[in-house]
Amino acid sequence: MANLIHFHAVMIDETGCEFGAGVDAHSREEAYEKLQDDYPESRIDQLESPEDTARREADIYARACAQYSNDYFDEEDY
């Protein structure tokens, strides 16, 4: 059996407020199902594995470096 992955979710409750939730699952699909079962009154706004988070952070860092080192940086070119 595959190792569990700890996913982090940003949830939206029935009042429209955000809250964080963590869930251990074997896949993203399983994580969605568990979160929907655990929080039936809420919806999932964002769901990230540690790898997703690392990719997102690396992209932010790369964009920041590109903007810092180029006075003529154009977001369209990135």
Cβ–Cβ < 8 Å for 20, 6: no
pTM (predicted TM-score): 0.73
Mean pLDDT value of segment 26-41: 97
- Which residues does residue 19 pair with via DSSP β-bridges, in sequence order? 11
In which residue are the tokens 């540690």 written? 50
SS3 letters across the chain: CCCCEEEEEEEECCCCCEEEEEEEECCHHHHHHHHHHHCCCCEEEEEECHHHHHHHHHHHHHHHHHHHHCCCCCHHHC
High-pLDDT (> 90) share of the chain, %: 74
